[in-house]
Chains A and B, each alone.
Chain A
Amino acid sequence: MSDAGNGNGEWLPPAERRQQQLERLQIVCNRAYKNVPFYRNRFQAAALSPQDIGSLEDVRRLPFTERRHFGEHYPYGLFAVPLRDIVRIHTAPGIGGSLAVSGYTARDLKMWKEMVARALRAAGVSVDDILQIVLHPGLANWGRDYKDGAEALQAGVIPLNALHLSKQIMVLRDYKTSVLITTPTSAVQIQELLFSSDINPNELSLKTLILVGEPASQELRRRIEEQLHVRTWQHYGLSEVPGPAVAYECEGHDGLHVSEDHFLVEVLDPITLEPVPEGESGELVLTSLTIQAFPLIRFRTGDRVRVLAEGCPCGRTLRRLEWLPDRVDDLLVIQGVKIDKDQVAVRVAQTLGFAPRKLSVHLVRQGGYKALEVQLGMEENLFSDEIKELERLVRKTAFELRQEFGVPVEVRLLEGPSVEAAFP
């Protein structure tokens, strides 16, 4: 019995793909309109009803969904099913001071499991592998999804844990990990730790490194591959909602195949918001096609991608994208965790009890590490004649920010004029 429609849709012929996407898009619109006031209002504001979506191109008549909407409809406002049907509620640091909540039905979890499993399969992961997941706490939901997907392939899984990297490399060596899922930043750190601990890559069973969370340059990948004797694969995912492995590399390592059976892809010029032609770059905009609990219609990812030519030697008919390092929005990405500068400012203000007049937020590199750097301009409110008190404030601010975002944080006090006024 043909089951291509809902089983593995990686190889669907283009005409069938379009029909399947249209059917699913219409269902998503019907459900969002019926069950989510936010989406219904937006349809109505655009003088549209779901039946006006008669082609894939018609999706462009609908307004975008942005990260800020998650906060505005916190916590359950964007759920499209009754709470009773939700079996997992996931929280991620949101933007603008709130949390990003997403829910999953049992079917959603099954869908993610299958999607992650096939992305891992494309990287050659099988029952013969021991797969270790080393991710930042901010990407804990990916940790769960990767665990589920790898278990579906019957690989042995070492799930996300709270061990320090220095212990992770012991696990890596002693448990004979063959597949490691981590961010490019952590991969570099692990590599440095291995060398500084005098662990020869030949002692490791590691052969596959799956890089997630942030784009990795070819140069970085080549260096890691040579030094660790591994092959690297990239996966692209959404960190707040709803999961990892939305796009993944095949054995050709030439761009990432997007799961078009589960997502409708648009790549738009960030200024004109028109689709860009093949070979050009633009913002990736995704519409979920199969998600039940937390549908996304035209979600602006802020990620910049380049559209690659159709057709891949691997035979998958899923469109390929190159994931580019620069973003379309001004979020900072540290170890795959997306950080909104405004939210940093809000948190700093909460900690200090007042909004500093001079504050700027940067991404800095400390060796192989990326960290969040907050520069505070000296001002009267901050001033204390006791150095100790100042130090305490700096430490407290850094602590609170680390708590909030789960990434390394540096807070520096500077003379007023040298700090740009980034926050009004």
Chain B
Amino acid sequence: MLIVRNLRAGYGRIEALHGVSLSVRHGEIVAIVGANGAGKSTLLRAVAGLIVPWQGEVLFEERSLAGTKPPAIVAAGIGLVPEGRWLFPPMSVLDNLRLGAYLRLRRGEKEAVREDLERVFELFPILAERRKQPAGSLSGGEQQMLAIARALMSRPKMLLLDEPSTGLAPLLVEKIFETIVQLNGEGITFLLVEQNARAALAVASRGYVLETGRMVLQGKAGDLLEDQEVKRAYLGKDYREFAEGRAR
């Protein structure tokens, strides 16, 4: 469904991605894990068209996204839930959601958008309760739900999620990932990047590990969770625990 080949991208003169390739099949949840600064967000931003890649190919449903502007990428079926959510805090929950359907409303799909609003409120009852409240007054977890809900309003085939667990309490992280699994069950494909490798790999079918702009591991999510390297670097196990007790 999504194919990325030899992607190089960065900011200014700094290259953040040094030739990255990955693929996401229809119906998958693919997690990209890696430390802060590994290039995870850059990767998603390049796929979403928010930055222009320096080199490489991005294909969505066999069509190249080269030179495609973000609105056209959204229209093609890719939704982005950015890190830090990027809501419009003074606007109401409802208006934030409508903005997510901006392209569709302009096309006059008013009725369909209304139906989708109902569906989103069913999915996130808390948002229905707070539909009139300013987005800025929601808790962190509610804001993340709103950000996902807003992305759903464009009826994406694939959602790109950038650090959905950031700043959330463990219980809320669980709730967000449950939602991802549920939406996946309804046919949405996911590519998510996460520092919280354990949570991401627990719901993903496959995963990649990105390290300073390069892919260094890939595999079934379950295998990666068991991988000594992943455990050491991303699952918070102390390195010394591994180094001790054997010949150094």
Tell me the complex Cα distance, A85–B8, Å: 31
A108 CB, nearest partner CB in chain B, Å: 11
Please judge, given known A-B contacts A84-B243, A105-B228, whether A6 and B223 are in contact too, CB under 8 Å. yes
Please judge, given known A-B contacts A6-B219, A26-B19, whether A84 and B228 are in contact too, CB under 8 Å. yes
- The number of chain B residues with a CB under 8 A from chain A is 33
How many A-B residue pairs lie within 8 Å, measured between CB atoms?
88
Tell me the complex Cα distance, A4–B228, Å: 24
Residue contact B229 to A23, C-beta cutoff 8 Å: no
**In the assembled complex, which residues on chain B have CB atoms less than 8 Å from the CB atom of A85?**
228-229, 242
Which residues of B (190-242) have their CB < 8 Å from a CB of A? 205-206, 214-220, 223, 226-229, 242
Residue contact A27 to B218, C-beta cutoff 8 Å: yes
Which residues of B (3-20) have their CB < 8 Å from a CB of A? 3, 5-6, 8, 18-19
**In the assembled complex, which residues on chain A have CB atoms less than 8 Å from the CB atom of B26?**
2
**In the assembled complex, which residues on chain B have CB atoms less than 8 Å from the CB atom of A107?**
219, 223, 226-227
Interface on chain B toward A: helix, strand, loop, or mixed SS?
Answer: strand
B217 CB, nearest partner CB in chain A, Å: 7
Please judge, given known A-B contacts A2-B205, A31-B216, A83-B246, whether A20 and B23 are in contact too, CB under 8 Å. yes
A244 CB, nearest partner CB in chain B, Å: 21
Residue contact B6 to A2, C-beta cutoff 8 Å: no
**In the assembled complex, which residues on chain B have CB atoms less than 8 Å from the CB atom of A22?**
5, 21
Tell me the complex Cα distance, A3–B218, Å: 13
Residue contact A81 to B229, C-beta cutoff 8 Å: yes
Chain B 5-43 against A: per-residue CB contact (8 Å), 1 yes, 0 no? Answer: 110100000000011011101111100000000000000
**In the assembled complex, which residues on chain A have CB atoms less than 8 Å from the CB atom of B171?**
none
Q: Which of A3, A7, A30 contacts B215 (CB 8 A)?
A: A30
Residue contact B217 to A51, C-beta cutoff 8 Å: no
**In the assembled complex, which residues on chain A have CB atoms less than 8 Å from the CB atom of B21?**
19, 22-23, 26
**Chain B residue with Cβ nearest A34:** B216
**In the assembled complex, which residues on chain B have CB atoms less than 8 Å from the CB atom of A50?**
18-19, 214
* 9 A-B pairs with the lowest CB-CB distances in the bound complex, closest first: A51-B19, A85-B228, A6-B220, A54-B6, A30-B214, A23-B21, A51-B18, A2-B25, A84-B242
Q: Could you jot down 14 A-B contacts, CB within 8 Å? A: A3-B220, A6-B206, A6-B219, A19-B3, A19-B23, A20-B23, A24-B218, A34-B216, A51-B214, A82-B243, A84-B228, A85-B229, A105-B228, A107-B223
